[in-house]
């Protein structure tokens, strides 16, 4: 069986170093807010080209904390609107609604699956305070139109870079373009911990300080609480693992691009739409997502032939039970995408033989 993602094999690549990192933390007797975290924050800020990086418990918290901080700072208040792509993982929407902000869902383009920036301006009202853009599947979602609109309407630009570590737009790495960025290091992400982890990056010192306090019980000084905060910290052991894996992220991206290019050059099946790449450096291929009618038939056929695929995602946020208040929205492109996408295996540990086999099967597929 060719697994969709073989995490055991992924982490086996770094086995010695990961074990050494775990031992170091166990022996240190220091498990939170220590040297490993400090080193990771420094390294990750450098990697993103941003002034500040703050380790937090997971990607959802990273996004939640950004909005919570803007509310504490008086930049936003409950009831304000945040524009989000309708085609995203639910975490992006949860971060907004969890803070009492109102999500305004805007359609993606069918080519990129990212926000259709030509539809942004129409979605803006006097209550709009921010755009939360999602670099879905690993592809940059920022363009000149989006940047100009943020400037014109004085909107905060927040990036959801859970899937796009290292993707580049105009010479800038995701996480250094907007006002603040949420990153996830969930094990299956391109830069994955061995458990939950996340980070916020920003160049805004005031924002950084508020988020830092909010993630640690709202405390700046121990046992003194300035805000009603959360407990959202990145464990030393996960920071130690991430320090190991960050060293190899560029090699991992290179391998993913090789896999993606192989698929792009060799999948030739008229039933299938391949992903569109706008800028080579702008895509880090967290997922390789194809699109076709009746995708379940292809998924079953591949599974019967020993290839596991997944669907990202089968139900859009506005059709989830959790968001019945959004269920009447008319978002046909988003719904079409959710009905037709299928993710093929992609990772640095996929072998050439496996890749050839997958492409042969996909090309031989008939309805
Ligand atoms: C994974 C993901 C998140 C949330 O990250 P967690 O670490 O799982 O909380 C947020 N947004 C997107 C687009 C994601 O893919």
Distance 90 CA to ligand 1 centre (A): 8
Q: Cβ distance 156 to 150 under 8 Å?
A: yes
Distance 93 CA to ligand 1 centre (A): 11
Residues of the chain with pLDDT under 50: none
pLDDT recorded at residue 245: 98
Distance 361 CA to ligand 1 centre (A): 31
Closest CA to 89 of 317, 322, 266: 317
Main-chain phi, psi angles of 68, to 5 degrees:
-60, -40
Distance 182 CA to ligand 1 centre (A): 9
**Which residue has 């959004």 as its token pair?**
326
pLDDT recorded at residue 367: 84
pLDDT recorded at residue 162: 98
User: Is there an atom of ligand 1 within 6 Å of 175 CB?
Assistant: no
Three-class secondary structure of residue 305 per DSSP? coil
Three-class secondary structure of residue 329 per DSSP? coil
- Top mutation candidate among 62, 184, 235, 285 for ligand 1, by most atoms within 8 Å of CB: 184
**Which residue has 């560029």 as its token pair?**
250
pLDDT recorded at residue 332: 98
User: pTM for this one?
Assistant: 0.97
User: Is there an atom of ligand 1 within 6 Å of 141 CB?
Assistant: no
Q: Which two tokens stand for residue 186?
A: 């969930």
C-alpha span between 42 and 184 (Å, rounded): 17
Atom number in ligand 1 closest to CA 60 = 9
Reported residue count of the chain is 367
- The residues, ordered by sequence, that sit 6+ positions from 117 with a Cβ below 8 Å of its Cβ are 143, 145, 146, 149
Burial of 36 (0-12, 13-18, 19+ CB in 10 A): buried
The residue whose C-alpha atom lies closest to atom 1 belonging to ligand 1 is: 162
Question: Which pairs from 277-283 meet CB under 8 Å and 24+ separation?
Answer: 277/139, 278/112, 278/139, 278/140, 279/140, 279/168, 279/169, 281/167, 281/168, 282/139, 282/140, 282/167, 282/168, 282/169, 283/137, 283/138, 283/139, 283/140, 283/167, 283/257
- The residues, ordered by sequence, that sit 6+ positions from 194 with a Cβ below 8 Å of its Cβ are 11, 18, 187, 238, 241
Q: Cβ distance 47 to 276 under 8 Å?
A: no
- Top mutation candidate among 57, 89, 286 for ligand 1, by most atoms within 8 Å of CB: 89
Distance 110 CA to ligand 1 centre (A): 22
Main-chain phi, psi angles of 218, to 5 degrees:
75, 20
pLDDT recorded at residue 358: 98
Three-class secondary structure of residue 146 per DSSP? helix
38-66 b/e (C-beta count within 10 Å ≥ 16 → b): eebbebbbebbbbebbbbbbbbbbbbbbb
- The residues, ordered by sequence, that sit 6+ positions from 275 with a Cβ below 8 Å of its Cβ are 113, 137, 139, 260, 264, 288, 289, 290
Closest CA to 135 of 189, 186, 54, 94: 189
Closest CA to 129 of 199, 197, 184, 67: 67
pLDDT recorded at residue 202: 98
User: Is there an atom of ligand 1 within 6 Å of 88 CB?
Assistant: yes
The residue whose C-alpha atom lies closest to atom 14 belonging to ligand 1 is: 162
**Which residue has 């995701």 as its token pair?**
174
pLDDT recorded at residue 54: 98
The residue whose C-alpha atom lies closest to atom 7 belonging to ligand 1 is: 59
User: Is there an atom of ligand 1 within 6 Å of 186 CB?
Assistant: yes
Main-chain phi, psi angles of 32, to 5 degrees:
-140, 145
**Which residue has 């305004």 as its token pair?**
104
pLDDT digits (tens, 9 = 90+) for 6-29: 999 999 999 999 999 999 999 999
pLDDT digits (tens, 9 = 90+) for 284-308: 999 999 999 999 999 999 999 999 9
Distance 327 CA to ligand 1 centre (A): 22
∠ CA(199), CA(118), CA(163), 5° rounding? Answer: 25
pLDDT recorded at residue 168: 97
User: Is there an atom of ligand 1 within 6 Å of 91 CB?
Assistant: yes
pLDDT recorded at residue 293: 97
C-alpha span between 321 and 325 (Å, rounded): 9
- Top mutation candidate among 162, 182, 195, 341 for ligand 1, by most atoms within 8 Å of CB: 162
User: Is there an atom of ligand 1 within 6 Å of 232 CB?
Assistant: no
């Amino acid at each position: 069986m060719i697994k969709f993602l073989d995490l055991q094999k992924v982490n086996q690549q770094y086995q010695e170093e990961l074990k050494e990192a775990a031992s170091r933390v166990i022996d240190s007797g220091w498990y939170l807010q220590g040297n490993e975290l400090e080193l990771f924050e420094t390294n990750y800020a450098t990697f993103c080209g941003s002034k500040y990086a703050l380790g937090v418990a997971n990607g959802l918290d990273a996004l939640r904390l950004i909005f919570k901080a803007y509310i504490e700072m008086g930049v936003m208040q409950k009831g304000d609107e945040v524009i989000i792509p309708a085609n995203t993982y639910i975490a992006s929407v949860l971060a907004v609604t969890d803070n009492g902000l109102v999500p305004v869902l805007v359609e993606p383009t069918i080519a990129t699956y990212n926000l259709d920036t030509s539809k942004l301006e129409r979605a803006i009202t006097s209550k709009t305070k921010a755009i939360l853009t999602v670099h879905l599947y690993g592809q940059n979602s920022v363009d000149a139109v989006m940047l100009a609109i943020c400037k014109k309407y004085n909107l905060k630009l927040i990036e959801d870079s859970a899937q796009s570590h290292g993707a580049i737009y105009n010479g800038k790495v995701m996480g250094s373009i907007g006002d603040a960025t949420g990153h996830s290091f969930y094990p299956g992400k391109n830069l994955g911990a061995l458990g939950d982890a996340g980070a916020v990056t920003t160049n805004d010192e005031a924002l950084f300080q508020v988020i830092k306090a909010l993630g640690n019980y709202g405390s700046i000084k121990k046992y003194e609480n300035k805000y009603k905060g959360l407990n959202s910290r990145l464990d030393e052991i996960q920071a130690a693992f991430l320090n190991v894996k960050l060293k190899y992220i560029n090699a991992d991206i290179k391998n993913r691009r090789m896999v993606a290019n192989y698929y792009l050059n060799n999948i030739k099946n008229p039933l299938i739409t391949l992903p569109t790449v706008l800028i080579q450096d702008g895509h880090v291929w967290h997922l390789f997502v194809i699109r076709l009618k009746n995708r379940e038939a292809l998924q079953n056929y591949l599974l019967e032939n020993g290839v596991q695929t997944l669907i990202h995602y089968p139900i859009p946020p506005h059709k989830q039970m959790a968001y019945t208040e959004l269920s009447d929205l008319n978002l046909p492109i988003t719904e079409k995408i959710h009905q037709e996408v299928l993710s093929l295996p992609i990772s640095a540990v996929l072998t050439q033989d496996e890749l050839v086999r997958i492409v042969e099967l996909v090309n031989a597929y008939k309805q």
